[in-house]
């Protein structure tokens, strides 16, 4: 059985479509665990309108657990062999659970990820998308290009899945809450990158990355500390240099939602962990662009796009 874990917070206006996407799956051996992290927008009343015994609702009425804490709460409340994370604003194709379950038929697979995209005015209006690599199965001995391809998709929890018996606790560390256990899976087991776009998330709704308090600690340093604590030295060094320290677009988020000193800290880390950035025109392009207020420009750029990407068969 798959436990679809929805760590909910302020998603009353989107959770209905998220739940319906799960109920319409071609794979039907699942339970839905919804853990509401003390939000005040009436999620409980909405969930009660569904007449399905597989839906189990829990509400935390005390101090908020945070993203990682609520994911961990969902895991503790669930019973399935597979933990499938799904934010209350995400959409999934009707084959998402079937494809995920199929990947876990290999007993050595510990986690599954997928390419995904962000949508604008509707589900068919794709404004940004993760690169499509095809079905890939990797471990720590795989080519670095394949490992990076996997990590490029795990910056959003929607549609990530874990084999429960191998799963460590989720962390309450911004930007890597669910990436810690995923990285552990890669160290000791195989992980699968699915071939299909099975998840999409809204581009213009408030997200965790827009909360200013999470930039108190460097997003880049959180990734680096995670890799250092789990992965062998040579692989860790390659991922930091060729994946983390070339994420120039991350400067846009921290400039828009963090402080200027936090932005300068991130620029310094890009140089510290990859000094070659000093000679990279793309690094200087993003440093120059982010000297200006980009929030409005980024939104207008996204709204004008419509990529040829869609979820497989959502009808």
Work out whether the CA dihedral 164, 168, 173, 178 comes out positive or negative: negative
Question: What proportions of the chain, in percent to the nearest 5, are helix, strand and coil?
Answer: 40, 15, 40
Sorted by sequence, the CB contacts under 8 Å of residue 239 that are 6+ apart come out as: 144, 147, 148, 151, 227, 231
Q: Which domains does the chain have, with CATH numbers?
A: 2-205 (3.90.550.10), 209-303 (no CATH)
Q: Are 163 and 112 in contact (CB under 8 A)?
A: no
Q: What are phi and psi of 240, to 5 degrees?
A: -65, -45
**pLDDT (tens digit, 0 to 9) for every residue of the chain, 315 residues total?**
999 999 988 888 889 999 999 999 999 999 999 988 787 777 888 888 898 899 999 888 777 777 878 898 989 999 999 999 999 899 999 999 999 999 999 999 999 999 999 998 888 888 888 988 989 999 999 999 999 999 999 999 999 999 999 999 998 888 899 999 999 999 999 999 999 999 999 987 766 666 777 899 999 999 999 999 999 999 999 999 999 999 998 998 898 889 999 999 999 999 999 999 999 999 999 999 888 766 555 554 455 566 777 776 655
Direct distance between the N- and C-terminal alpha carbons of the chain, in angstroms, rounded to an integer: 23
Interior CA angle at 162 toward 241 and 65, to 5°?
85
Interior CA angle at 152 toward 148 and 154, to 5°?
120
38: alpha, beta or left, given left = phi > 0 and alpha = psi -120 to 50? left
pTM for the whole structure: 0.92
| Runs of H (alpha helix) within 152-215 | 179-188
Quote the tokens at residue 308.
């040829």
Quote the tokens at residue 268.
């310094």
Distance CA(44)–CA(124), nearest Å, equals 29
Using alpha carbons only, how large is the chain's radius of gyration in Å?
A: 19
Instruction: Reduce the DSSP state of residue 120 to 3 states and report it.
Output: coil
State the virtual CA torsion across 272, 275, 281, 282 in degrees, nearest 10: -50
Q: Are 181 and 165 in contact (CB under 8 A)?
A: no
Distance CA(180)–CA(75), nearest Å, equals 15
Interior CA angle at 79 toward 33 and 229, to 5°?
90
CA 212 to chain CA centroid, nearest Å: 18
Distance CA(236)–CA(226), nearest Å, equals 9
């Amino acid at each position: 059985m798959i436990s679809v874990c929805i760590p909910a917070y302020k998603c009353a206006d989107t959770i209905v479509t998220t739940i319906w996407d799960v109920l319409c799956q071609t794979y039907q051996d699942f339970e839905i665990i919804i853990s509401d992290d003390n939000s005040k927008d009436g999620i409980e009343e909405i969930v009660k309108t569904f007449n399905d015994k597989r839906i189990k609702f829990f509400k935390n009425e005390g101090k908020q657990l945070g993203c990682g804490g609520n994911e961990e709460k969902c895991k503790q409340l669930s019973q399935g062999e597979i933990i499938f994370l799904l934010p209350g604003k995400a959409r999934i194709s009707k084959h998402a659970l079937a494809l995920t379950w199929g990947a876990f038929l290999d007993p050595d697979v510990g986690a599954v990820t997928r390419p995904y995209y962000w949508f604008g005015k509707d589900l068919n209006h794709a404004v940004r998308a993760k690169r499509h690599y095809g079905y890939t199965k990797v471990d720590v001995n795989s080519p670095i290009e394949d490992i990076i391809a996997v990590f490029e998709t795990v910056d959003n929890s929607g549609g990530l899945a874990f084999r429960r018996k191998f799963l460590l606790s989720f962390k309450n560390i911004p930007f890597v809450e669910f990436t810690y256990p995923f990285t552990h899976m890669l160290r000791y087991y195989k992980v699968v990158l699915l071939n299909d776009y099975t998840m999409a998330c809204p581009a213009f709704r408030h997200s965790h990355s827009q909360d200013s308090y999470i930039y108190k600690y460097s997003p880049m340093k959180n990734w680096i500390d995670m890799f250092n604590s789990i992965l062998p030295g040579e692989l860790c060094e390659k991922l930091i240099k060729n994946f983390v320290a070339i994420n120039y677009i991350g400067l846009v988020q921290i400039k828009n939602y963090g402080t200027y000193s936090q932005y300068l800290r991130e620029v310094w880390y890009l140089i510290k962990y990859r000094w070659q950035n000093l000679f990279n025109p793309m690094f200087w392009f993003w440093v120059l662009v982010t000297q200006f207020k980009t929030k409005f420009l980024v939104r207008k750029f996204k709204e004008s796009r419509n990529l040829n990407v869609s979820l497989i068969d959502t009808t």
